[in-house]
Structure 1
């Protein structure tokens, strides 16, 4: 077997030559344990995968709009999820902040789009809040 003849991985992927792995034996409490380390792909692996995607796009041009819209939709969904999780009425940690709605600033709009919102405090509600504190 020469340097050009690399063994083909059993699962049929062509990326096997870029994956570093090594097996080791460790001793734990007097017992030999066969350890399989995590597989660490090289940068060349990612480069080849990305270039393969671009080559497929250039061969099949009808996939370009699909890839564009799917990327745009995924980015929009991710950004809206992050935006929604930053809102004050979402509770992620109930132990440290059990009532986050108490810290909501009423002058700050809570909707996605707010047109001509003017907030004025209700006097009766303010009196009740002052009396209960």
Structure 2
């Protein structure tokens, strides 16, 4: 694939920035996925710790998403029947 890209870049030099940003994007996405896979709550060892969520203390701060909506001010999008 690299050989094809180099051949195309020699024929069409305007493609060089596009190839650069494609490689940069793929590299950044790969590094981001590796960073996610090495997070503190990811367990790759399924034999010794099959349920890591059981080891959390009662004071552990869970991340929740709380969305407050005032239902009185919502507009209806349909007709009144």
- Coarse TM-score class (shorter-chain normalised): 0.5 to 0.7
Query: Aligned partners of 2:54, 2:22: CA distance in 1, in Å?
Result: 35
**Partner in structure 2 of residue 96 of structure 1:** 48
> RMSD over aligned Cα, in angstroms?
2.6
Query: Aligned partners of 1:87, 1:100: CA distance in 2, in Å?
Result: 14
Task: From the two aligned structures, give the one with the greater helix fraction.
Answer: 2
Gaps of 5+ in 2: 57-81
Instruction: Determine which structure has more spread, i.e. the larger CA radius of gyration.
Output: 1
TM-score in terms of structure 2 length: 0.52
Q: CA 1:85–1:100 in structure 2 vs 1: closer, same or farther (change >3 Å)?
A: farther
1:50-69 matches, within 5 Å, as 50-69=2-21
Count of paired positions: 55
Q: CA 1:101–1:67 in structure 2 vs 1: closer, same or farther (change >3 Å)?
A: farther
Task: From the two aligned structures, give the one with the greater strand fraction.
Answer: 1
Gaps of 5+ in 1: 1-48, 104-133
**CA offset at residue 93 of structure 1?**
4.1
Query: Aligned partners of 2:4, 2:14: CA distance in 1, in Å?
Result: 16
Query: Aligned partners of 2:54, 2:10: CA distance in 1, in Å?
Result: 51
